């Protein structure tokens, strides 16, 4: 069973969030026949975009349709725009009463842009909601309700490492940040690149900072709420330590010589081939290692904190299926969502995505081969030593973090300077969103 401390998200009324390429959602006319005993067709709009997401939605719909005896059919609509255009369209049509019965959308703070208390179907009283992992449930809930069912697997953010390189160098997985720096020193002395960075794809520079958020919450459990309310800052609060960890690595000369131009896929290849020992990254990369480097031996561990007794994992939660509050078929929608959040639904997700990570539904288990990366994640979920990433708990995530982390990693800015710059970036975003207190 998965366990987690529930941390309710702060409701942000009327906020609009600019979402990048990962927000691949849209809208469409819902419908189907209605009436007691009559067949009902539910349209599930998700927008064009990520093939794995479309395949997952289609697998869930097909599995539900095959076993359903209530006359309900789910059809997936993956047409329409994607990215920011699609995101803006979903908000417009949801607000105008023109949304399909089901929609695929982000979990976490980005959900607030949909004004869930006013516009989404509240499923908090459904019995299956109690089977949702608390960490996930917190990312689809407000103080007034719960709105989503998970359509994927959880993933972790931390440190990928080459197991063979570690063994040959005689180093062990570090349990604290001080031990991590000791490992960096030992690897350097052995002539091994300790940490791979790939600033040719600037987004990858954020992973030390983002992956450290479990430790930030261990220091200040209310940090995300305080940031949202403008009651603390990254420069003055617990989050500064995350920037400092990146500076520690830069100061130690831990990176590959071509860190400024190396690309993400090249970094994965470098790690797989033993040309570096560690790479801060998300665990979705396990699929790439399995497909492109089947003989590689890659493991995973969280960004360590100050205490080995509280070593925990920062997690990224899956997207969710939601329904507009005004759907004409709430009972049928709830029946489909109950299927999604069941072992049968998890099995359909597994068929489409493979063993990409832990499920966030109690009672769901992965079957078949599990990569070392995923296997290394599981104990943290099983012991409840996980926390959602910052972006699932606050909308105040300025768009320029990657620029500031590149500067820290490149020795251009100090941790303090970068954190202060990020605070200024957040002020602009919060004011654009019209958040109180800014």
Q: Point out the least confidently predicted range of 103-107, 180-184, 304-308.
A: 103-107
pLDDT at 306: 97
- What digits encode the pLDDT tens for the residues 191-230? 999 999 999 999 999 999 999 999 999 999 999 999 999 9
Percentage of the chain lying above the pLDDT 70 cut? 91
Question: In which band, very low, low, confident or very high, does the pLDDT at 84 lie, cut at 50, 70 and 90?
Answer: low
- What digits encode the pLDDT tens for the residues 255-273? 999 999 999 999 999 999 9
User: In terms of residues, how long is the chain?
Assistant: 438
Question: In which band, very low, low, confident or very high, does the pLDDT at 85 lie, cut at 50, 70 and 90?
Answer: confident
What's the mean per-residue pLDDT of the chain? 90
Helix 401-409 / helix 415-433 crossing angle, nearest 10 deg: 180
- What digits encode the pLDDT tens for the residues 275-293? 999 999 999 899 889 889 9
Question: How far apart are the C-alpha atoms of 149 and 402, rounded to whole Å?
Answer: 30
Question: In which band, very low, low, confident or very high, does the pLDDT at 110 lie, cut at 50, 70 and 90?
Answer: confident
pLDDT at 147 over 50: yes
pLDDT at 185: 99
Question: How far apart are the C-alpha atoms of 364 and 1, rounded to whole Å?
Answer: 9
Between 37 and 319, name the one with better pLDDT: 319
Question: In which band, very low, low, confident or very high, does the pLDDT at 232 lie, cut at 50, 70 and 90?
Answer: very high
pLDDT at 274 over 90: yes
pLDDT at 36: 58
pLDDT at 11: 37
> Cβ neighbours of residue 140 under 8 Å, at least 6 residues apart?
107, 111, 146, 147, 148, 149, 320, 322
CATH class held by domain 155-316+389-433: alpha beta
pLDDT at 346: 97
pLDDT at 428 over 90: yes
Q: Are the beta carbons of 138 and 225 closer than 8 angstroms?
A: no
Question: How far apart are the C-alpha atoms of 34 and 383, rounded to whole Å?
Answer: 45
Question: In which band, very low, low, confident or very high, does the pLDDT at 354 lie, cut at 50, 70 and 90?
Answer: confident
**Would you call 6 exposed, middle or buried from its count of C-beta atoms within 10 A (0-12, 13-18, 19+)?**
exposed
Written as one string, the DSSP assignment of 229-252 is TTS--TTTSTTHHHHHHHHHHHHT
- What digits encode the pLDDT tens for the residues 119-135? 999 999 999 999 998 88
Around Cβ 169, how many Cβ atoms within 10 Å? 18
pLDDT at 25 over 50: no
Domain boundaries, the chain: 40-154+318-366, 155-316+389-433
Angle at 43 between CA 328 and CA 84, to 5 degrees: 110
pTM of the model: 0.80
Q: Point out the least confidently predicted range of 56-70, 107-121, 312-326.
A: 107-121
Question: In which band, very low, low, confident or very high, does the pLDDT at 244 lie, cut at 50, 70 and 90?
Answer: very high
pLDDT at 80: 80
3-state secondary structure of 63: helix
pLDDT at 395 over 50: yes
Average the pLDDT over 401-426 and give the result. 98
Question: How far apart are the C-alpha atoms of 401 and 210, rounded to whole Å?
Answer: 10
pLDDT at 266: 97
Same fold, 40-154+318-366 and 155-316+389-433: yes
pLDDT at 321: 98
pLDDT at 14: 34
Question: How far apart are the C-alpha atoms of 175 and 70, rounded to whole Å?
Answer: 52
Q: Are the beta carbons of 12 and 45 closer than 8 angstroms?
A: no
The arrangement of secondary structure in 40-154+318-366, i.e. its CATH architecture, is 3-Layer(aba) Sandwich (3.40)
């Amino acid at each position: 069973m998965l366990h987690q401390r529930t941390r309710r998200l702060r409701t942000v009324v009327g906020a609009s969030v600019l979402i990048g390429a990962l927000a691949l959602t849209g809208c469409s006319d819902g419908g189907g026949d209605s009436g007691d005993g009559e067949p009902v067709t539910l349209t599930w709009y998700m927008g064009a975009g990520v093939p794995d997401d479309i395949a997952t939605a289609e697998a869930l719909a097909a599995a539900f349709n095959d076993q359903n005896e209530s006359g309900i059919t789910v059809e997936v609509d993956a047409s329409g725009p994607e990215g920011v255009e699609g995101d803006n369209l979903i908000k417009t049509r949801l607000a105008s009463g023109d949304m399909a019965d089901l929609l695929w959308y982000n979990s976490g703070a980005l959900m607030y842009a949909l004004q869930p208390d006013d516009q989404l179907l509240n499923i908090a009283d459904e019995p299956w909601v109690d089977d949702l992992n608390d960490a996930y449930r917190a990312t689809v809930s407000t103080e007034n309700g719960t709105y989503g069912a998970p359509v994927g697997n959880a993933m972790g953010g931390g440190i990928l490492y080459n197991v063979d390189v570690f063994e040959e160098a005689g180093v062990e997985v570090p349990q604290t940040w001080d031990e991590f720096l000791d490992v960096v020193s030992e690897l350097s002395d052995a002539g091994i690149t300790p940490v791979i960075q790939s600033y040719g794809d600037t987004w990858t520079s954020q992973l030390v900072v983002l992956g450290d958020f479990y430790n930030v919450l261990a220091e200040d459990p209310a940090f995300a709420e305080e940031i949202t309310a403008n009651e603390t800052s990254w420069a003055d609060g617990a989050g500064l330590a995350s920037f400092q960890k990146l500076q520690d690595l830069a100061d130690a000369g831990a990176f590959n010589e071509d860190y400024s131009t190396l690309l993400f896929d090249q970094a994965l290849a470098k790690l797989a081939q033993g040309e570096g020992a560690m790479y801060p990254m998300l665990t979705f990369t396990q699929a790439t290692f399995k497909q492109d480097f089947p003989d590689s031996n890659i493991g995973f561990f969280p960004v360590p904190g100050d205490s080995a007794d509280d070593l925990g994992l920062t997690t990224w939660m899956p997207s969710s299926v939601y329904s507009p509050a005004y759907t004409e078929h709430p009972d049928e929608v709830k029946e489909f969502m109950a299927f999604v959040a069941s072992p049968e639904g998890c099995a359909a997700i597994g068929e489409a995505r493979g063993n990409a990570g832990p499920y966030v539904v109690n009672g769901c288990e992965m079957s078949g081969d599990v990569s070392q990366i995923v296997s290394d994640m599981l104990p943290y979920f099983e012991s409840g030593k996980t926390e959602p990433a910052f972006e699932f708990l606050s909308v105040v995530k300025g768009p320029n973090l990657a620029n500031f982390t590149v500067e820290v990693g490149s020795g251009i800015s100090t941790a303090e300077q970068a954190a202060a710059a990020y605070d200024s970036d957040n002020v602009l975003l919060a004011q654009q969103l019209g958040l109180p207190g800014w």
